[in-house]
């Protein structure tokens, strides 16, 4: 069984979940701290550094889920990881290590920095445990990945009179994103192989981003050309800029890319050029927003990368030939780009976007007096993850788990790297206190003035109307997993109050993960959206969708 946090996070796009209590470094010990030895072992022949993570889960729980994952065929537990949809099920402890020498053993105090609580508070019993060294501090964004050092899964009875030792035995290998697992359906393997013939890597060094960071900064992505594309022909194609959600990157976009290629080849989607943009960064997702912390990503895209691509490919460079599509954090990015650069893009089709009105930040009104991200005024907790009516995790749980996994790169820290002013220490100012949940009103004012999309529309609609009216299309489920439908309603109310033309679609009982499903087609909505874009770009075209689209 795999607790594959990285696979779940790739779906999430708003990264949620988290836990109850966290053992603070200055908190008084209520029991003897539980210490574990971790040895570098054969995993590395060179000194190494990173964030050492220790995972533990009750054996009976892990074995039951292993059987469920394997249809009852096996109870083998081959990995232990955090699971965003079972917030407190796996215990996580962490410490930073530097210049760790081969064969050297170090101690990790599993009560000093832990979630949901220190290991000394775990009930007695058998546990499966695994140690992971996150060498590049990317765990909060992608989970364990290439180059990370891992131990075998070991079964330990706690408490124990001896100090258990876990040994890091291997480095995780890099994976070719175009290689489909042998277990995948033949149709998937064929679709990926076919898409590869029409996809070209984007690797562009941005002058403005490089100047901001003082080192070369690369903008990456994939350009997918339609069937029959001829670089020497005069025909130009409408172009869709597709932005990924939280957890996505250039290696994790092969599914949608292959789907689009296959659908265009079958005539189920119109012939357009698709640019699959990678909006990941070491600090999380930069969302193509100009930021005092991340740098001018919006400017780099609109002033550098897009002109460069249009000089290489047969793209329709008119505003009504450029479109935006993205989901979750990618949905927010497309809303931001459309409203920030209305003269450049001909329309956004944003799905389940992160909050565009901070009066409803996944249910929290950041502008309320004495606002708190963890608790309502009556003391009840703010949920963050749900399965329809069932709450799976709270905002507090997610924030505190994220803090253990790393100080940056997680979903909530990612928001601060985009939206917050820079503090005296050179880091983004926290929007809320991670211990208490108290919201900093001064930081929220900065968020409002710079990144609250609804606020910006209210303040600047007279100037934006001519270029923006009718260009916003938004889809979200009424059972969105991360409560993102609330902010969408507020954004719609603002636009309606401005008498703006917009198209908001609240799909009944749909979640964050099944929003695109139409009938048996899990990406059917994408086909519908593509035809709406094409009709905008080519209003007189006789090329029409072969099947009536609709939810």
Strands 165-171, 35-39: pairing is parallel
Q: What is the pLDDT of residue 521?
A: 95
Whole-number pLDDT of residue 31: 62
d(CA 471, CA 342): 8
CA–CA separation, 437 and 432 (whole Å): 6
The model's pTM: 0.92
Give mean pLDDT, residues 434-441. Answer: 98
Query: HSE on the CB side for 232, CA within 13 Å?
Result: 0
Q: Evaluate if residue 295 carries a pLDDT over 80.
A: yes
Task: Assess whether pLDDT exceeds 50 at residue 247.
Answer: yes
Q: Are 352 and 491 in contact (CB under 8 A)?
A: no
**Average pLDDT of the residues in 430-447:** 98
**pLDDT reading at 451 higher than 90:** yes
pLDDT over 90 (residue 18): no
- Binned at pLDDT 50, 70 and 90, residue 482 comes out as very high
pLDDT score of 244 more than 60: yes
Residue 134 class from Cβ within 10 Å (0-12 exposed, 13-18 middle, 19+ buried)? buried
pLDDT-above-90 percentage for the chain: 86
- SS3 at position 394: strand
Q: What burial class does residue 197 get, using C-beta atoms within 10 Å of its C-beta: 0-12 exposed, 13-18 middle, 19+ buried?
A: exposed
Closest to 19 (Cα-Cα) out of 82, 108, 104: 82
Task: Tell which wins on pLDDT, 83 or 100.
Answer: 100
pLDDT tens digits along 302-353: 999 999 999 999 999 999 999 999 999 999 999 999 999 999 999 999 999 9
The yes-or-no verdict on residue 520 having pLDDT over 70 is yes
Q: How sure is the predictor about 75, in pLDDT bands with cuts at 50, 70 and 90?
A: confident
pLDDT > 90? residue 3: no
What are the residues whose beta carbons fall under 8 Å from the beta carbon of 406, sequence distance 6 or more? 51, 94, 134, 137, 139, 140
d(CA 516, CA 524): 6
Confidence of residue 71 (pLDDT cuts 50, 70, 90): confident
Which ranges in 143-272 belong to alpha helices (H)? 186-196, 207-213, 254-265
CB atoms within 10 A of CB 196: 15
Tokens of 514: 């099944």
For residues 100-105, give the mean pLDDT.
92
The percent of residues above 70 in pLDDT, for the chain, comes to 93
What backbone phi and psi angles, to 5 degrees, belong to 100?
-75, 120
69 Cβ contact list (under 8 Å, min separation 6): 1, 2
In this prediction, residue 21 carries a pLDDT of 37
Q: What DSSP string describes 239-270?
A: EEEEE--BT--TTS-HHHHHHHHHHHHTTSS-
Maximum separation of any 2 CA atoms in the chain, in Å: 78
Helix axes 441-451, 453-468, angle to 10 degrees: 10
Residue 151 and residue 168 in contact, taking contact as beta carbons nearer than 8 Å: yes
Euclidean distance between CA atoms 48 and 51, whole angstroms: 10
pLDDT of 276 over the 50 cut: yes
Mean pLDDT of all residues belonging to the chain: 92
Cα 298 → chain centroid: 18
The pLDDT score that the predictor gives to residue 68 is 83
41-to-103, 107, 139, 147, 152 alpha-carbon distances in Å: 5, 14, 21, 15, 12
17 confidence band (pLDDT: 50, 70, 90): very low
Of the candidate ranges 14-23, 38-47, 173-182, 406-415, the one whose mean pLDDT is the lowest: 14-23
Residue-wise pLDDT for 167-188, tens only, equals 999 999 999 999 988 888 899 9
Domains in the chain: ranges and CATH:
1-175+391-450 (no CATH), 193-357+452-537 (3.40.50.1820)
* CB proximity list for 111: less than 8 A, separation 6 or greater: 23, 29, 31, 33, 34, 93, 118, 119, 120
Q: Considering only CA atoms, which of 232, 250, 233, 230 is closest in space to residue 242?
A: 250
Q: Sign of the CA dihedral 199, 200, 203, 204? A: negative
CA distance readout (Å), 192 to 10, 186, 188, 261, 323? 18, 10, 6, 9, 24
| Residue 10 clears pLDDT 70, i.e. is over it | no
């Amino acid at each position: 069984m795999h607790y594959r946090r990285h696979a779940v996070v790739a779906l999430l796009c708003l990264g949620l979940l988290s836990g109850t209590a966290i053992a603070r470094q200055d908190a008084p010990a209520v029991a003897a701290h539980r210490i574990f030895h971790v040895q570098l072992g054969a995993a590395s022949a060179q000194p190494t550094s990173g964030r050492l993570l220790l995972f533990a889960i009750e054996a009976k729980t892990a074995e039951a889920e292993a059987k469920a994952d394997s249809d009852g065929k096996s109870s083998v537990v081959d990995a232990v990881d955090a699971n965003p949809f079972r917030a407190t099920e796996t215990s996580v402890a962490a410490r930073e290590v530097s210049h760790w020498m081969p064969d050297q053993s170090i101690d990790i105090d599993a009560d000093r920095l832990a979630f949901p609580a220190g290991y000394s508070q775990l009930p007695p019993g058998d546990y499966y445990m695994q140690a992971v060294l996150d060498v590049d501090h990317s765990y909060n964004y992608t989970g364990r990945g290439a180059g990370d050092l891992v131990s075998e899964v070991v079964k330990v009875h706690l408490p124990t009179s001896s100090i258990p030792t876990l040994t890091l035995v291997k480095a995780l290998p890099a994976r070719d994103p175009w290689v489909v697992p042998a277990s995948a359906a033949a149709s998937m393997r064929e679709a990926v192989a076919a898409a590869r013939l029409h996809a070209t890597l984007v690797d562009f060094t941005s002058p403005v981003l490089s100047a901001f960071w003082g080192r070369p900064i690369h903008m990456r992505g994939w350009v997918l050309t339609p069937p029959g594309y001829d670089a020497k022909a005069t025909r130009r194609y409408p172009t869709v800029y597709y932005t990924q959600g939280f957890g996505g990157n250039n290696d994790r976009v092969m599914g949608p890319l292959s789907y689009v290629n296959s659908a265009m080849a079958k005539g189920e989607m119109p012939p357009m050029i698709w640019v699959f943009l990678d909006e990941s960064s070491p600090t999380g997702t930069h969302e193509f927003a100009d930021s005092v912390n991340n740098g001018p990503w919006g400017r780099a895209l609109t002033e550098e990368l897009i002109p460069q691509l249009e000089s290489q490919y047969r793209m329709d460079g008119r505003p009504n030939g450029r479109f935006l599509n993205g989901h979750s954090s990618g949905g927010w990015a497309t809303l931001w780009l459309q409203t920030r650069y209305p003269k450049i893009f001909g329309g956004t089709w944003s799905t389940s976007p992160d909050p565009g009105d901070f009066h409803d930040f996944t249910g929290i009104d950041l502008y309320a007096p004495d606002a708190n991200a963890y608790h309502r005024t009556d003391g009840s907790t703010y949920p963050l993850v749900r399965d329809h009516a069932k709450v799976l995790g709270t905002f507090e749980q997610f924030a505190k788990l994220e803090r253990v996994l790393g100080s940056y790169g997680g979903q909530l820290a990612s928001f601060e790297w985009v939206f917050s002013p820079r503090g005296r220490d050179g880091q983004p100012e926290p929007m809320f206190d991670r211990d208490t949940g108290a919201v900093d009103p001064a930081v929220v004012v900065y968020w409002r003035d710079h990144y609250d999309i609804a606020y910006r529309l209210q303040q600047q609609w007279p100037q934006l109307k001519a270029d923006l009216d009718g260009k916003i299309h938004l889809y979200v489920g009424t059972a969105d997993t991360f409560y993102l439908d609330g902010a969408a309603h507020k954004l719609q109310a603002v636009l309606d109050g401005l008498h703006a033309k917009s198209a908001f679609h609240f799909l009944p009982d749909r979640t964050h993960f099944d929003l695109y499903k139409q009938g048996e087609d899990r990406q059917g909505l994408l086909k519908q959206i593509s035809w709406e874009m094409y009709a905008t770009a080519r209003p007189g075209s006789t090329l029409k969708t072969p099947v009536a689209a609709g939810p």
